[in-house]
Amino acid sequence: MKSQNELGVPIPVSKPLVVRTIKEVTKAQREYALEKTEYNMFSFPADLLFLDFLSDSGAGTMTDLQWATLFHGDESYGRNKGYYVLLDAVRDIFERGDHPKRVINLIISGETDTKKLMDELYLTSYEGGFVNGGVHQLSHPNTFIVPQGRCAEYLLFSTIAPILREKDPNKKYYIPNNGHFDTTEANIAANSIYPVNLFSTNLMDEFPFDQMDKRNPFKGNMDLNELEKLIQEKGADSIPLIYITITNNTAAGQPVSMNNIKKVQKIAKKYDLPLFFDACRFAENAIFIKEFEEGYQDHSIPSIVQEMFSYVDGFTISFKKGLANIGGGLFFKDRGIFHKKFSTKEDIGILLKEKQILTFGNDSYGGMSGRDIIALASSIYETVDLNSLRRRIFLVREFARKLAENAVPVILPAGGHAVYLNMDKFFEGIDMKIDDFGGIGFTIELLKHYGIRACELGPFAFEWDKKTPEQRKSILNLVRFAIPWNAYNTSHIDYAVAAITELYNNRKKIPKVKISRGAELRLRHFQTGLQPVYGD
């Protein structure tokens, strides 16, 4: 008799306690709604969908523990109790590895010992890490809570750009990344800095789907040769910082190996450059390292996360990609390279804090409600739970495997949070040019016929028609199916696979798409009107 672990399917790790009924919507109703919303995926009413793979951002199902913690939320304007809990949760997860303090338990358990609360939570002092505490957070701030990831990006780039310009108004600055997300890219470009993508050279290599449980080529890595080349060509003083996105969302959600992170850090150190993570999906990245990188099989997820973050000088993060529905932050090492480099006239932390207060609210809530802050703190612990991560990775992998078995061109191996179709291959041999936006045509048809929403991350989203031939080289032609945490199970995946396969088999009927309104808008995929053009 096989043991429970030998059955070849994962042991269930959760069960839903709240059920939301999906509405019955006809194809004709969806067609009408598509027309009314200018065929833009982001404008389509979510309540009329069967399945929504537009994003995993903020769309996850909260756990019973998070709901329970949410009731402890404190809406005080100054220093709500969740602020202290969140700051210490960040220390626990990103710095303390296998030795968390979990002071959150003082709140959840209803601790009434005032001295204990003062000594262990409210009046503790920290310095030297990513999260100064007490008076140190005031005299040299390094922690900035904001509503979501792009706010942290805005805060960072809009604050460093004037400092760079003051140093040399005519200099061109470049920020390399293993793959900038669109908001990161846009926030950098909006501050007249050049974002540069250094994708791994093996990204589009073939990979056999039956090997996905056995090995992983870490296609999310940064191209180290190109990084050295860029620094040499432009000069280290033209690179304000280096960014690594974990996992690499723009590069098909692929993970980054610890070895690659270490090597990038070595290069950053050599040139005295700050290294930052775009850390949205740090937990998914950690499980890939545990599963597939030599030497890490016996390491816990928290210890892997701790090691990953020991190599960087700071990070921006959207907490919405984990189990929380809202939240983000900017963190940098107390008096590290970043702090030294950008504290030319004034302390960079003080400048960032001023801007945080001006734009999002005072530093203890940063634009979030007290309920959200404490629910977020509790979610960070659950995001690194090994069993939840295993289930998450299994579902994404199963989605990719089933598509591959049906010969649908899916990027393999599957990444951490989403499945990506390779639209160049999808339309191979068919009259569909890159600027016919076939990926958009596919998403329109998928929504119209089957009530499923996906997201084009290709020539339309990354604005092919507005870019130079050089810039076009870093645009991949993908459609993404992102899987929100704990929202879907195998039955949802099976319906999606059947629908996608049917459309693939009828790909000649997929329309080309014209932009009918707003082609010139920045971040246009959220705003433009579209029009499918059907052939005969």
> What are the residues binding ligand F0G (CB under 6 A)?
55, 57, 148-150, 181, 183-184, 245, 249, 278, 280, 318, 320, 328, 482
- Residue pair 487/20 in contact by the 8 Å Cβ criterion: no
Task: Pick the closest to residue 81 from 119, 109, 107 (CA basis).
Answer: 107
Please report how close the Cβ of residue 26 comes to ligand F0G at its closest, in angstroms: 28
Q: Cα(144)–Cα(353) distance, rounded to whole angstroms?
A: 7
- For every residue of 216-258, DSSP letters joined together read ---TT---HHHHHHHHHHH-GGG-S-EEEESSBTTTTTB---H
Q: Cα(161)–Cα(163) distance, rounded to whole angstroms?
A: 5
Please report how close the Cβ of residue 476 comes to ligand F0G at its closest, in angstroms: 14
Please report how close the Cβ of residue 220 comes to ligand F0G at its closest, in angstroms: 11
Please report how close the Cβ of residue 455 comes to ligand F0G at its closest, in angstroms: 7
For 50-193, list the strands marked E by DSSP. Answer: 51-52, 143-146, 174-177
Please report how close the Cβ of residue 41 comes to ligand F0G at its closest, in angstroms: 11
Q: Enumerate residues 6+ apart whose C-beta is below 8 A from 463.
A: 524
Tokens of 86: 């969140």
Q: Enumerate residues 6+ apart whose C-beta is below 8 A from 146.
A: 152, 155, 328, 329, 330, 356, 360, 366, 367
Q: Write b or e for each residue in 80-96: b if 16 or more Cβ atoms lie within 10 A of its Cβ, otherwise e.
A: bbbbbbbbbbbbbbbbb
Q: Cα(187)–Cα(154) distance, rounded to whole angstroms?
A: 6
Paired strand residues for 456: 479
Q: In terms of CB distance, is 40 or 132 closer to ligand F0G? A: 40
Phi, psi of 328 (to 5 degrees): -160, 175
Half-sphere exposure of 157 (CA within 13 A, CB side): 25
Q: Enumerate residues 6+ apart whose C-beta is below 8 A from 11.
A: 4, 5, 387
Please report how close the Cβ of residue 149 comes to ligand F0G at its closest, in angstroms: 3
Please report how close the Cβ of residue 55 comes to ligand F0G at its closest, in angstroms: 3
Please report, for the chain, how many H helices and E strands are present, in that order.
20, 14
Q: Which residue's CB comes closest to ligand F0G?
A: 149
Mark residue 206 as left, alpha or beta (left: phi above 0; alpha: psi -120 to 50; beta: remaining). Answer: beta
Q: What letter would DSSP give residue 456?
A: E
Please report how close the Cβ of residue 275 comes to ligand F0G at its closest, in angstroms: 16
Q: In terms of CB distance, is 55 or 238 closer to ligand F0G? A: 55
Q: How would you list the strands of the sheet with 418-422, edge to edge?
A: 418-422, 478-482, 455-457
- Residue pair 157/352 in contact by the 8 Å Cβ criterion: no
| Secondary structure, 3-state, 72-105 | CCCCCCCCCHHHHHHHHHHHHHHHCCCCCCCCHH
Please report how close the Cβ of residue 462 comes to ligand F0G at its closest, in angstroms: 13
Please report how close the Cβ of residue 505 comes to ligand F0G at its closest, in angstroms: 28
Please report how close the Cβ of residue 485 comes to ligand F0G at its closest, in angstroms: 13
State how far the alpha carbon of 481 is from the alpha carbons of 220, 406, 411, in Å: 17, 17, 12
Please report how close the Cβ of residue 319 comes to ligand F0G at its closest, in angstroms: 8
Q: In terms of CB distance, is 427 or 485 closer to ligand F0G? A: 485
Q: In terms of CB distance, is 241 or 280 closer to ligand F0G? A: 280
